Chains A and B, each alone.
Chain A
Amino acid sequence: MLAFTFRRIVMMVPILLGASILSFALVETSGDPVQEQIFLIEQSTGDPVSPDVVEELEAQLYYDRSMPERYWLWLTGIGETNGDIGLIQGKWGPSVEGPTTDIGGEVGERFWITVRLVLLAVVASVGIAILTGVISAVKQYSAVDYLLTLVGFVCLALPTFWFATLVKEAGVALNGAFGTDLFKTYRDSTRGFQGNGWEVLLDALPYMILPTFVLMLTSYASMARYQRAAMLEVLNSDYVRLARAKGVRNRTVMRRHALRTALIPIATFAPLAIVTAMGGSLVVERIFGWNGLGAYAYDSIKAADSFAVMAYLLIAGVLTLIGVLISDLLYGVLDPRIRYE
């Protein structure tokens, strides 16, 4: 098991490298930060930018070198640098915002905001998925099953941005109707996470309800389908029939025999759900005005801030790989038929 884990982690390195090269090339072809900055300066001053300024910008953003050179610098920081680039040295590269903005610091702060949203939403959606999936399977072809299936299909078809806007406006309308401010519909906290843990929690809770609800509903449906299928398969299996034939009570059969096995697929699915929820968080963060990673990725794309976009892609890529690894390992732990040599 340990050897297997180690081998899997070693295998991830080339995949991550390949992904970083490919995304670096794609991000570079999609936007030129130097041109974007020149455009912005020209717009604000109205004069053409002098060649000196262009050169300075290029030097600052390492655009005076070729793309492969820039990638090498971004990855290792070995060579002639301004001392702000080199991933393996913990430096994320220069931002177009200027030398005062440190991408690493920015990302580090926002990371936890996004993780808070994504983790809570995934835990909630897994919970709902298990509940509805099991009910659907136990009451197969009943009205309850059809209703839950229909709701699941509708949730699968819901565009996150539309639903998030709807829920946000509903929150505003409810607040207006009852004269309360129970649902906070904009920003992630009042005080920016100052104070002790309890204060932070109390402060952040009203802000979390609606975004978590949106992200939960838009991501639970496919897991609920898997849960229903898994539970049905187990319920029709021989050992459950044997347990019933022995005269085991229905509740015990469900809890001890059926559910335990039927949870295996969803347990392996959950780590990957985090990856999907990361994508959804980009939309949700923008609509609810959270200063998380997703909002950062959006702003960086808008500003053609290549190194900042790369920072997001890298973090998301590492999280994806960790998610895949955990789901593989969980499968081995939970399913005794699978052994990792």
Chain B
Amino acid sequence: MSDSIKRTDYSAEAITTKERSQWEMVLRRFLRHRLAVTSLILFVLIVLFAYVGPFLWKWDHTLHREIPSLAGPTLDHPFGTDQVGHDMLGAVMRATRQSLNVALTVAFGATAIGSIVGAVAGFYRGIVDAILMRIVDILFVIPFLVITAALAGNISGGTTWWHMAIILAVFGWLGTARAVRAEVLSLREKEFVEAARSVGGSDAHIIFRHLIPNATSIIIVSATLQIAFAILAETTLSYLNLGIQPPDTSLGLLIQNAGGSAFNERWYLFYIPGIFIILIALTINFVGDGLRDAMDPRQTMVRR
């Protein structure tokens, strides 16, 4: 009898709430952020539009003889056609895809370089830190737009999207490196780093298994900012004819080709690619903002 009493006592006192891991908490917090979730859905739709769309739509971005030139938006050509007779829906799909290719590659590449440089500089400090940070300083002094324009504008054989991606990534990691370094400088003094070292963890093990994973929130947020930054930089360079070259296309090139048609009957040539750029940059910024809030450990589930 006493046994059964004890048992019920225990069950009453047992923790009934489900245990949640850190990432579940982050996910739940993110999902409460309505604007960020809406933005994420919109961004995914744009990505699907760019990568899956071309398989579903009958026209691509190249010239076809049967397409009329300068047709307004109709059911046959929802985004209209341009002077020479490109179907603009097909062209915008292709352009968005090329611009996203650049943006996602830059986000990945620049974030990888920046995180590693920042973590190494912050972990070793001293001379390594001094050298790496002077390199950051030197790159910071060189104006980004002009040096990338000089490099991208003169590639023999035409600039493709991966040329753009490499060039932008090589010059775009400075902010990430600074942010990660600052975080690692404080992380390296924590006990778990001491513990990892005392059980014989190598420097590389500590950096890649302990420091970088603990700086994930900063890294993810800066990766989202990189996407927005890269898409603006790529379209700007392409607009200036210093980026992706025809016959391939980019959102910047489409706007360049639209010329000053913002207020005449060919308005759709100008606004549609522009709105796509704004939507990509805007949604990804909102997602980044939502992630920053969700991953901030000081945040509680209660909305202040």
Contacts and interface: CB of A to CB of B under 8 A. Distances in A.
B141 A16 contact: yes
Given A159-B277, A161-B239, A169-B263, A320 B141 contact: yes
Interface stretch (B61-69, B118-126, B189-197, B228-236): B228-236
A18 B150 contact: no
B134 interface: yes
B150 A279 contact: no
Contacts of A14: 134
B203 to A, nearest CB: 27
A23 B139 CA distance: 9
B278 interface: yes
B150 A166 contact: no
A169 B146 contact: no
A162 B141 contact: no
A283 B144 CA distance: 13
Interface stretch (B3-11, B70-78, B176-184, B279-287): B279-287
Interface string B111-150: 0000000000000000000000010011111111111011
Given A18-B134, A165-B270, A320-B140, A157 B282 contact: yes
Interface string B273-304: 01001111110011000000000000000000
Interface in A147-170: 153-154, 156-162, 165-166, 168-170
A170 B262 CA distance: 8
A158 B150 contact: no
Interface string B217-255: 000000000001000100110011010000000001001
A325 to B, nearest CB: 12
A26 B282 contact: no
Contact of A159 (B146, B150, B232, B242): B232
Contact of B260 (A160, A168, A297, A313): A168
A73 interface: no
B262 A15 contact: no
B255 A162 contact: yes
A282 B154 contact: no
A123 to B, nearest CB: 21
A280 to B, nearest CB: 8
B152 to A, nearest CB: 8
Contacts of A320: 140-141, 143
A17 to B, nearest CB: 9
A160 to B, nearest CB: 7
A157 B154 contact: no
Interface residues of B, number: 39
A114 B149 CA distance: 19
Nearest to B137: A15
B146 A313 contact: yes
Contacts of B263: 169-170, 172-173
B153 interface: yes
B151 interface: yes
Interface in A54-101: none
A278 B154 contact: no
B163 to A, nearest CB: 11
A228 to B, nearest CB: 13
A30 interface: yes
A288 interface: no
A316 B144 CA distance: 10
B143 A161 contact: no
B274 A162 contact: yes
B143 A156 contact: no
Contact of B141 (A282, A286, A321): A321
B154 A316 contact: no
30 contacts: A22-B138, A26-B150, A153-B285, A154-B282, A156-B282, A157-B228, A157-B277, A157-B279, A159-B239, A159-B255, A159-B281, A160-B236, A161-B236, A162-B239, A162-B277, A165-B262, A169-B263, A172-B260, A173-B263, A279-B143, A279-B144, A279-B145, A279-B146, A283-B239, A283-B240, A297-B149, A298-B240, A309-B146, A312-B146, A313-B142
Interface of A: 14-16, 18-19, 22-23, 26-27, 30-31, 153-154, 156-162, 165-166, 168-170, 172-173, 275, 278-279, 282-283, 286, 297-298, 301-302, 304, 309, 312-313, 316-317, 320-321
Interface of B: 134, 137-147, 149-151, 153-154, 228, 232, 235-236, 239-240, 242, 252, 255, 260, 262-263, 270, 274, 277-282, 285-286
